[in-house]
């Protein structure tokens, strides 16, 4: 049986990805940080689909937690699925927000770096011994980091880290090709999630007036839903994308086209 690890699976894109993977018969290990109730909801939703999932708390911004997490993963693989390797990794955890360049503090810069770039980088390195030959990885970046995307004020720090994810994806795909491990990225546009900003304010629920403006700038006429992005992630992980690696796919409905 195939098993996936979805980092940041307690809500939004990660939650939708976990559920869609379970619908394909994949076992799921998901992580959460500040939303244990959401993680429980994800596990329950997967159980309702007839699947199996376990959830572990993990702060992606703290590399000191990674070794213990790997041990939790190894135990779960053995005890829950009777395997010693997992097949899919989705690096999705993060937080959003904006700050004008002159207002970006070193602390905020480091928080973005630790959670959005350094964390996924070293977590993937830590989990690599448990990743099966022929596995697949999808890293979640952002349309703000795409060279042809919209350059909005206030995202110098955030987009820099997400741009780093795209570069890392390409380089990692080259290095892991010898093990037939595919590595791709997706770059969502505006998506209706509960992703919190640096101050803990939660997404579009806090700023509903922004939605019509963003929808008007999107070719397909609405902002994205978590399931839209999850469908792209799951497809990239699946066998139908077996000849795709080192790519970044913008999943934005044509935002700012």
Q: How many residues are listed for the chain in this entry? A: 257
Active site residue: 32, 88, 155, 158, which one?
A: 158
Q: What angle do CA 43, 46, 47 make, to 5 degrees?
A: 85
Residues 199/236, Cβ–Cβ less than 8 Å: no
- In terms of Cβ atoms closer than 10 Å to its own Cβ (0-12, 13-18, 19+), residue 190 is buried
Is 158 among the residues known to form the active site?
yes
Residues 94/191, Cβ–Cβ less than 8 Å: no
Distance CA 19, CA 145 (A): 27
Helix axes 119-127, 66-81, angle to 10 degrees: 50
Residues 182/245, Cβ–Cβ less than 8 Å: yes
Residues 169/184, Cβ–Cβ less than 8 Å: yes
Which of 169, 160, 172, 4 has the alpha carbon at shortest distance from 76?
A: 4
What b/e readout covers 199-227, taking b as 16+ CB neighbours within 10 angstroms? eeeebbeeeeeeeeebeebbeeeebbbbe
- What residues are labeled active site? 158
């Amino acid at each position: 049986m195939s098993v996936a690890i979805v980092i940041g699976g307690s809500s939004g894109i990660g939650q939708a990805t976990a559920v869609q993977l379970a619908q394909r018969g994949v076992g799921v290990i998901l992580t959460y940080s500040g939303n244990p109730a959401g993680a429980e909801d994800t596990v329950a939703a997967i159980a309702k689909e007839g699947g199996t999932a376990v959830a572990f708390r993990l702060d992606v911004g703290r590399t000191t937690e990674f070794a213990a997490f790997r041990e939790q993963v190894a135990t779960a693989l053995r005890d829950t699925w009777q395997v010693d390797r997992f097949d899919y990794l989705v690096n999705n955890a993060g937080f959003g927000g904006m700050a004008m360049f002159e207002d970006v503090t070193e602390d905020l810069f480091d928080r973005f770096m630790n959670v959005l770039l350094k964390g996924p980088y070293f977590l993937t390195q830590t989990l690599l011994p448990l990743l099966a030959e022929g596995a697949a990885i999808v890293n979640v970046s952002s349309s703000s980091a795409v060279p042809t995307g919209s350059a909005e004020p206030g995202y110098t720090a955030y987009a820099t880290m997400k741009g780093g994810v795209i570069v890392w994806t390409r380089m990692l795909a080259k290095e892991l090709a010898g093990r037939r491990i595919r590595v791709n990225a997706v770059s969502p546009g505006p998506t209706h999630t509960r992703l919190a900003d640096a101050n803990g304010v939660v997404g579009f629920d806090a700023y509903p007036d922004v939605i019509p403006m963003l929808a008007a700038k999107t070719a397909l006429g609405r902002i994205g839903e978590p399931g839209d992005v999850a469908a792209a992630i799951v497809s990239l992980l699946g066998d139908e994308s077996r000849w795709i690696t080192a790519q970044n796919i913008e999943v934005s409905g044509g935002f700012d086209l």
